[in-house]
Amino acid sequence: MVDTTTHILEKPRWLTPVLFTTTIFLSASLLFFVQPLFTKIVLPHVGGAAAVWTTAMLFFQTVLIGGYLYAHLITRHLPVRSQIALHLVLWALALTFLPLAVAEGWSYDAEQSTAWQTLLLFAAGVGLPFAVLSANAPLIQSWYARSGGYSADDPYFLYGASNLGSLIALLGFPLVAEPLFGAAQIGWGWTIGFWALGALLLASGLVVRGRIACAAERGQIEAAPSLQTRLHWALIAFVPSSLMLAITTKLTTDIGSVPLIWVIPLALFLLTFVLVFTNRPIASLATLRLGYLIGLGVLAVVFSNLLSIHVTVWSAVLTIAAFFLTALYAHAMLYAQRPAAQHLTTFYVTMSVGGALGGFFNSIIAPSLFNELHEGAITVAIAAMLLLGRATRPSRMALFGTAALVVVIVAKESMISVIGTVAFGAVAVALFVAIAATIRHNAQAHAWVLIGFLVAGQVFVDRGSPLFTDRSFFGTHKIIERDGLRIYGNGTTTHGAQRIVDLTAERPEPQLYYHRNGPMAQVLTSAKADASDTVGIVGLGIGALACYGQPHQNWHFYEIDALVANIAHDPNYFTFMSRCAQDAPTHLGDARMVLAEQENLEFDILVIDAYSSDSVPVHLTTVEAFEIYLDHLSDDGVLLFHISNRYYDISRPLGRLAEAMGLVARIQNYAGNTAKDPGDVGSLVVVLSRSEAGLGDLNDDPRWTPLTSDGGRVWTDDFANVLEVLYH
């Protein structure tokens, strides 16, 4: 007689891999789709700094540890039925967080740590749903190991499927979802997917409940991994995680704090898992190691400050490609060292700890210890150390290569004057490729070359002997002197300058974007300004605009970064504020949120000067933001937008907003005259008012031309497509 119970259980076994692959794929898609989605939701509340994404990643990585640890504990201490019941209960509780939104009444406190406020904001908004999703990767693989399905004794292939889902979700957000739908619509779609996941989790659990067939129950027990092994796993996982964040910070500082820039390094990070966590690897470890050597060489050039130039498309591509090669080999090393299935959850917990340590190092430790972005160079050195193994002495080739590189660095300035910065960078990269090819069988030698180069780069590269360097949540800050100017820079962008001879002047003369010949000065010195009583400046910088103030005027400044305010108000560095606006209040916090809370304050001129960092503070360029501006603008007042930017044409969303809100808009693209005056640089400025009469004498100034809408979709807090305003 046939055992019908066994027959019923055996019949659907061929569907098991499909069910589990679908479940883990959907879970991972939801997990990594929610990261840029919720970060986009919170940007109007915490601002658009590069550190917002880095801190968000720290939150996600930390919760990932919690999810993996939860999966590890319940698979060790609870029977399968209890695992299923508990996990579905948590899934149901997570539904109470939906749809995703910032808690009502939450507000940013400029006096408190921005990093911790951001972490708490994420915890309150998406904490439990993300934790449930985080647990699914190891939990579903553990369940599959008990299912008796295909390759159940080695279920790590499911992790590749998981990361494929993550990769598709990450790319889908900036390339498909964000350009077509608003955040609310995307959020509702995500909610539907989360409901569907509950059904798949239940189905997967029911399949496992009927088939208990794991290695431990068959008597095949592998010794638990040692502490040394676990530490090695964590160190390997630390390297690509930290590098990803270091590269993201570098790119977002120069290009912009937008989801696409966040997503690209993270997408490649996930792709490496897809390519190596499989029974059919794309290449041997030896081949991948060669790519690792070349990648580290390029990253050593990038993070040694050898190329002290702004990020370009090609340098960004080269940097990201080098990161990909590095992460690919690191994750291949992890896969090669994976334990048996019964220790699967231990493996993933350790990996997540290593990854979170990378996030903690980049988000919390590095900003506290360093005044500049040194974490990339340190992580490259750690990555090189992974190659050293037991080697304790460098080879002759390593010493020769290190010495040659030091000579090249010392000669950098003269070489640049002859062949140019870009050509010199190409020579440096080519040198590293040659070294990698020459010593490809001697990884230890290559590691010593890299470490020696990084040290030499930190020692010998001339940074201009800055008068001041410091670092805050919103970026690095530096003050240097050059060509008779004292210059303040945030990241790689210059935000203001003062002539050194003006430091003792009664009324210093504004420079750069704020030069007397430029469009911003034209507005603030016009007949319109003469008749204005109250002026607001969003984006303090060094306070250069303050010296266009008049005795009868009441000025207010808004600045999100307290460190910037300290620099501007310290006469030891700059004297615009101390000489021209000593009594003017500086309101700390995100200007949009601060303005929304202020009552009975009306401006005749409101300057929005938060666009000159080559990023796009989207939350300052939406209908909701304009409604706040207009609420604080007099009937005939003007809005003045400084939108100089290397990468984005911000005049396009401004033109759409002007048309949608019935405003008159003028634009001026000022070329500057640096040949005559180094402080007279070009700038792009837009002025808006409710009527032509409100523009006053600016309305008849031929230097200001009409700004019209390009017919595109108006930006709101719910919808903004940054990709469409990239300069072609």
Question: What is the 3-class SS of 659-717, one letter each residue?
Answer: HHCCCEEEEEEEEECCCCCCCCEEEEEEEEECCCHHHHHHHHCCCCEECCCCCCCCCCC
Asked if pLDDT for residue 460 goes beyond 60, the answer is no
366: tokens are 């590095």
The H or E element spanning position 97 is none
Question: Residue 493 falls within a domain, yes or no?
Answer: no
724: tokens are 């469409």
**pLDDT given at position 210:** 55
Same domain, 80 and 186: yes
CA atoms within 13 A on the CB side of 320: 21
* Of 609, 676, 675, 670, nearest in space to 643 by CA: 609
- Alpha-carbon torsion angle 257, 259, 260, 266, nearest 10: 100
Same domain, 614 and 721: yes
| Whether 602 contacts 634, CB under 8 Å | yes
Ranges 256-270, 317-331, 442-456, 485-499: which has the least confidence: 442-456
Question: Residue 479 falls within a domain, yes or no?
Answer: no
Asked if pLDDT for residue 510 goes beyond 90, the answer is yes
**Read out DSSP for 147-164?**
TT-TTTT-TTHHHHHHHH
Strands (E), 595-658: 603-608, 633-642
**pLDDT given at position 413:** 33
Distance CA 325, CA 212 (A): 40
**pLDDT given at position 117:** 81
**pLDDT given at position 219:** 46
Same domain, 75 and 152: yes
* Of 706, 542, 673, 696, nearest in space to 609 by CA: 542
Give CA separation, 363 vs 49, 51, 358, 475, 539, in Å: 13, 7, 9, 11, 24
Same domain, 189 and 246: no
**pLDDT given at position 418:** 44
Asked if pLDDT for residue 436 goes beyond 80, the answer is no
Q: What is the mean pLDDT of residues 668-688?
A: 91
Give CA separation, 523 vs 70, 508, 517, 535, 696, in Å: 60, 19, 11, 12, 10
Question: Residue 387 falls within a domain, yes or no?
Answer: yes
**pLDDT given at position 514:** 93
Domain range for 72: 1-217
- Alpha-carbon torsion angle 333, 334, 337, 342, nearest 10: -160
Q: What is the mean pLDDT of residues 121-126?
A: 88
- For residue 412, give the 3-state DSSP assignment: helix
Tally Cβ neighbours within 10 Å of residue 573.
17
Asked if pLDDT for residue 218 goes beyond 50, the answer is no
Give CA separation, 5 vs 2, 8, 590, in Å: 9, 5, 65
Q: By percentage, how much of the chain surpasses pLDDT 70?
A: 78
Q: What is the pLDDT of residues 58-70, one digit of tens each?
A: 788 788 888 889 9
CATH label of the domain that carries residue 583:
3.40.50.150
Strand-pairing partners, residue 490, are 477, 493
Q: What is the mean pLDDT of residues 689-710?
A: 91
Same domain, 199 and 303: no
Same domain, 683 and 707: yes
Choose the final residue of a domain: 422, 448, 463. Answer: 463
- Beta-carbon contacts of 706 under 8 Å, excluding residues fewer than 6 positions away, are 665, 666, 667
Question: Residue 477 falls within a domain, yes or no?
Answer: no
Taking the complete model, does pTM exceed 0.75, yes or no? no
Name which residue leads in pLDDT, 115 or 189: 189
**Read out DSSP for 565-609?**
HHHHH-TTT--HHHHH-TT--EEES-HHHHHHH--S--EEEEEE-
Same domain, 195 and 74: yes
**CA Rg, the chain, in Å?**
28
Tally Cβ neighbours within 10 Å of residue 671.
9
Choose the final residue of a domain: 421, 447, 463. Answer: 463
Ranges 270-284, 536-550, 608-622: which has the least confidence: 608-622
Distance CA 194, CA 100 (A): 12
Asked if pLDDT for residue 392 goes beyond 80, the answer is no
**pLDDT given at position 406:** 40
CATH label of the domain that carries residue 213:
1.20.1250
- Alpha-carbon torsion angle 80, 84, 85, 91, nearest 10: 160
Same domain, 155 and 251: no
Q: What is the pLDDT of residues 273-294, one digit of tens each?
A: 888 887 777 788 878 887 887 8
Name which residue leads in pLDDT, 627 or 356: 627
Q: What is the mean pLDDT of residues 503-512?
A: 92
Same domain, 299 and 393: yes
Choose the final residue of a domain: 401, 430, 463. Answer: 463
Give CA separation, 464 vs 393, 478, 481, 482, 549, in Å: 35, 10, 8, 8, 33
Same domain, 525 and 579: yes
Asked if pLDDT for residue 721 goes beyond 90, the answer is no
Average per-residue pLDDT for the chain: 80
Q: What is the pLDDT of residues 3-59, one digit of tens each?
A: 443 443 444 555 788 888 899 999 989 998 888 888 888 877 766 555 666 677 778
Strand-pairing partners, residue 193, are none
Name which residue leads in pLDDT, 91 or 119: 91
**pLDDT given at position 289:** 81
Burial 140-178 (b: 16+ CB within 10 A, else e): bbbbbbbbbbeebeebbbbbbbbbbbbbbbbbbbbeebb
**pLDDT given at position 6:** 41
373: tokens are 């972005």
Q: Where are the alpha helices (DSSP H) in 337-495?
A: 344-360, 366-369, 375-388, 396-410, 412-419, 421-438, 443-460
Asked if pLDDT for residue 216 goes beyond 60, the answer is no
| Whether 33 contacts 175, CB under 8 Å | no
Distance CA 645, CA 649 (A): 7
**pLDDT given at position 697:** 86
**pLDDT given at position 394:** 40
Same domain, 95 and 66: yes
- Beta-carbon contacts of 645 under 8 Å, excluding residues fewer than 6 positions away, are 611, 612, 614, 616, 684
CA-based angle 520:521:527, to the nearest 5? Answer: 110
Question: Residue 83 falls within a domain, yes or no?
Answer: yes
- For residue 206, give the 3-state DSSP assignment: helix
Asked if pLDDT for residue 633 goes beyond 90, the answer is yes
Same domain, 236 and 209: no
Question: Residue 468 falls within a domain, yes or no?
Answer: no
- Beta-carbon contacts of 174 under 8 Å, excluding residues fewer than 6 positions away, are 36, 258, 259, 260, 263, 723
Question: Residue 491 falls within a domain, yes or no?
Answer: no
HEC profile of 6-59: HHHHHHHHHHHHHHHHHHHHHHHHHHHHHHHHHHHHHHHHHCCCHHHHHHHHHH
Distance CA 352, CA 363 (A): 16
304: tokens are 């040694």
**pLDDT given at position 652:** 95
Distance CA 555, CA 532 (A): 11
- Beta-carbon contacts of 718 under 8 Å, excluding residues fewer than 6 positions away, are 182, 183, 184, 185
Question: Residue 486 falls within a domain, yes or no?
Answer: no
Tally Cβ neighbours within 10 Å of residue 118.
27
Distance CA 128, CA 133 (A): 9
What's the domain count of the chain? Answer: 3
